[in-house]
Structure 1
C-alpha cells in the first residue's frame, strides 16, 4: 500500500491531479490496476487514502505541535518559525501544491471538502497552542499570511515575478520569510 501511495504523490507531482488516474499510478507503482480497485474501490478511494495518510499540511502541523511547546521563551519566534517552516515545506512538496490547486478548482468534491475539514482542524490545533493572545487577532493575521504563502507558491511556476518579488529566486523567497518575521515582530 505504501508503494501505491508514494506513486500517487509522484504522479501528481509530474502531471497534476487532474491528469492522474489509476493506470498511471499502477504503472508507476509497478502493480496491476485491479489491486487499486480491490483495496481502494477505485480512484476516489485511492485519492482519499492518499490524503488521509499523506496530507502534507496536517502532517506538518502535527510535527510542529510535537516538536514545539506553548511555553517557549519566545512565542513570537515560534510563530515566525511555524510560518517560515510551512513555506519551506510546502515549497519543497510539489504534490501538496498540486493538491491545493486541485482543491481550489474542485470545491464541491467530497474529497476536497474532507480535505478542508481535516486541514482546518489541524490548523486550529496550532492556532490554539501558539497564536492566542489578548492583544491581537493572530488567527486572522496567520490566515492572511498562510493564504498569501499558498498563493505565491501556486503562481510561482508560471509567473516569474509578483509585484517586485522574483518568485524564481531564492532571494525573493528570503524576502518573503523576512516579511513574515517583520509582521509578527510588529505585533508584539
Structure 2
C-alpha cells in the first residue's frame, strides 16, 4: 500500500494485527521479514521457473517466438504485480544489503537457467541482449507510476504498452534463431 521504502516493522505489525516483538522474534527484524517474503514468493525466480516448466522442450523452429513469449509475459506479469515492483525498488535503493545481494544471486541463477534453455546462440551474446531487454522492461515499469511518458511512449495507456510489446517482437525478430 505504501511501498517498501515507506513501510517499517510498526506498519507491518499494525496491518497484520500483531505485536512488533513477534516480528523480531520470528524473523529477526525488518530484513529477516523481507527475506522470508522474498523467498516465499520472489516473483522473478517464480516466473522463470514456471516458464521453464511450461516449456520443457523448445522446438528450434519456434525458439524466437518462445523468447518473445518469455519477455512479453515477463512484462505483463510484472506490470500487474505491484509488490514485486516495490521489492525491485527496495533492492535498487539498498544495494549493500545482505538481502539485496542474496536476491541478485538467486535472480542471476534463475535467469541463467532461462538463458541456457531459450536464449542460447553461438553468434550473439544472448546474455547481454537479454539483460538489456529485461532491465529496460523493468525500468519502464518502475518509472511508469511517476512518469506519464518516456520518450514518445505513453506509460499510462494500453497503446503505449502495446508499442513496447511490439518493440520486443521487433528486437527478437532481428536476433539469430
Classify the TM-score, shorter chain. Answer: over 0.9
2:58 aligned residue? 71
Question: Could you list the runs of 5+ residues in structure 2 that have no partner in the other structure?
Answer: none
Q: Is the 8 A contact 1:165 1:172 kept in 2?
A: yes
For 2:137 and 2:144, the matched residues in 1 are separated by: 11
For 2:9 and 2:162, the matched residues in 1 are separated by: 39
Considering Cα pairs closer than 8 Å and 6+ residues apart, tell me whether 1 or 2 has the greater RCO: 2
Q: CA RMSD in A?
A: 1.2
Query: 2:56 is paired with a residue of what secondary structure?
Result: coil
- Is 2:26 the counterpart of 1:53? no
Shift of 1:94: 0.8
Runs of 4+ residues over 3 Å off in structure 1: none
Query: 1:107 is paired with a residue of what secondary structure?
Result: coil
For 1:19 and 1:163, the matched residues in 2 are separated by: 29
- Is 2:115 the counterpart of 1:127? yes
Aligned length: 175
1:3 aligned residue? none
TM-score w.r.t. the length of structure 1 is: 0.89
Map residues 3-42 of structure 1 onto 2, 5 A cutoff.
14-42=1-29
2:169 aligned residue? 181
For 1:187 and 1:123, the matched residues in 2 are separated by: 19
For 2:166 and 2:57, the matched residues in 1 are separated by: 23
Q: Is the 8 A contact 1:70 1:130 kept in 2?
A: no
Shift of 1:123: 0.5
Shift of 1:31: 2.3
